[in-house]
Structure 1
């Protein structure tokens, strides 16, 4: 009887482990250590996904890995160095993931930094497109081969991809370029039924934007809350989004709940955009 109980316990434990292990797919997240990236990683880890987190700062990657595994011990997290200003790091990262199968790729590229006024030079355009469009697209090209059939790719763009924003001259072009590419990628990955969508956030209340609001409040001799209310007056919801809003949308887009959502650009701005 004792032997039977022992065997039953071993079988139960083994089957529980294999079910838990096989039910958790890996997701590659670029720009993992930024405000969006960290929130997305924490959200996905809470749902049982294993993660490949990438960035150019290996110290920050290690710190995020520790944070994720401390909070979610059963989550497997691997770090990969990807610097969008160095194509070699993309290929090197791919070589380290031979045999890896991905549920999804979440592509967060660098923030465009073109000057707002006047025509950028040819060199400025070239450098910016290399860093914010061509290099991230190389990640899709190389790691796309590792995505499972019926998987998902989500590209983070910005609300200026839908509605021209005068305060973001020139960088509007880069945001919009990704929306055109989404339509291309939908066709490229169609045979494998891999869905490709874009998320275009408006202003998200990250620490960066909180500091900007604080600076404006100080300049206008008012409180943070009063300045925030003034800044969001033109938004129907009268508020900026939070990183959790972005993370929750990403989670939905890579899940089986969105299996027929493909080629879309979802604007996450509280209704601020007036474009159809």
Structure 2
């Protein structure tokens, strides 16, 4: 996505250095592609080596679910990019259980580590560099399903609710330093990970697993629908926007 100015194309993120977690497929890969197309230099990561990373992006393996993994990724970002101007925490997910009380403690901890604490750790490691430079954009990918509080996914939506609350507080703290912090909350999106989770839910419940009715806008989301919002929030077009949560769900989960 580009802007045209005086007859020439201006890449929105030209010269920016971006780190995207969970960028090897689905929503993450779409975010990586759009940031690359906007002129950014992009480093992305996944827990294991893969050949699905969008062409043009650098890649390292890292488990952001652990403190050591987050520290190793931050070090790699500084070494390979020279610093980070744009940080997108997209890595996340959790499988369903029969109900809230059936969720084991280790699953709660895993959900918190991946969906919440991974972002907290990377922000703490990389935001100081943004503060020194006086600018930066951080986007945390949450979930439009947070208000639904479905018992089979309560560990996941609880972690994402914590992420949203933390993001608002961090936005207030970092705004005077010129750093913007926003959240994007996708609804049901056509991705390999989403499909696998829906199949797992169906097996668990011996039924469809969830409402299969299309959202009010008539279709499931596409990865680029979410990536469009992320690109906007990382660009100068969103220069007066911080502490927001952009819900991209086709009207699936209305919020008051």
TM-score, normalised via structure 2 length: 0.79
Distance 1:183 1:242, change over 3 A: same
> Secondary structure at the residue paired with 1:189?
helix
Cα displacement (A) at 1:210? 5.5
Name stretches of at least 5 consecutive residues in structure 1 with no aligned partner: 1-18, 70-76, 217-226
The gaps in structure 2 that reach 5 residues or longer are 1-9, 203-207
Contact 1:112–1:171 (CA under 8 A) maintained in structure 2:
yes
Structure 1 position 183, deviation (Å): 1.4
Distance 1:56 1:127 in 2: 14
2:143 alignment partner in structure 1? 158
Pairwise CA RMSD of aligned residues? Answer: 2.8
Pairing 1:33–2:16 present? no
Structure label with greater radius of gyration: 1
Contact 2:100 2:151 in 1 (8 A): no
Q: CA deviation at 1:144?
A: 1.5
1:83 to 63, 81, 84: 63
Question: Post-superposition shift, 1:249?
Answer: 0.9
User: Between Structure 1 and Structure 2, how many residues are aligned?
Assistant: 232
Question: Would the aligned equivalents of 1:163 and 1:274 in 2 still touch at CA under 8 Å?
Answer: no
Cα distance in 2 for residues equivalent to 1:255 and 1:116: 41
Write 1 or 2 for the structure with the bigger share of helix.
1
Shift of 1:172: 2.0
Decide which of 161, 165, 168 is 2:153's aligned counterpart: 168
> Hey, what does 1:231 align to over in structure 2?
212
2:121 alignment counterpart: 138
Tell me how far apart the structure 1 counterparts of residues 33 and 218 of structure 2 sit (CA, whole Å): 27
Shift >4 Å, 4+ stretches? 208-213
Question: Which piece of structure 1 moves more, 161-170 or 99-108?
Answer: 161-170
Residues 239/151 of structure 1: CA separation in 2 closer, same or farther (3 Å cut)? same
For residue 103 of structure 1, report the CA deviation from its aligned partner.
2.2
Match of 1:105 in 2: 87
The corresponding residue for 2:39 is: 48
Match of 1:28, SS state, is strand
* Aligned residue number for residue 180 of structure 2: 195
Q: Is the 8 A contact 2:25 2:52 kept in 1?
A: no
Partner of 1:126: 109
Match for residue 250 of structure 2?
270
Q: 1:185 to 1:165 in 2, by over 3 A?
A: same
Distance 1:169 1:91, change over 3 A: closer
In structure 1, what is the Cα distance between the partners aligned to 2:155 and 2:88? 24
Q: Does 1:251 align with 2:231?
A: yes
Tell me how far 1:255 sits from its aligned partner.
0.3
Q: Which residue of 1 aligns with 2:75?
A: 95
Structure 1 residues 114 and 141, CA, compared in 2 at 3 Å: closer, same or farther? farther
SS at match of 2:123: helix
Separation in structure 2 between the aligned mates of residue 274 and residue 165 of structure 1, nearest angstrom: 15
Alignment of 1:5-20 (within 5 A): none
Q: 1:123 to 1:196 in 2, by over 3 A?
A: same
- The answer on whether the counterparts of 1:232 and 1:240 sit within 8 Å (CA) in structure 2 is no
- Cα deviation digits, residues 89-141 of structure 1 (max 9, x gap): 22123233158232210001220236250323444423432333223321111
User: Corresponding residue for 1:68?
Assistant: 55
Q: Distance in 1 between matches of 2:107 and 2:194?
A: 26
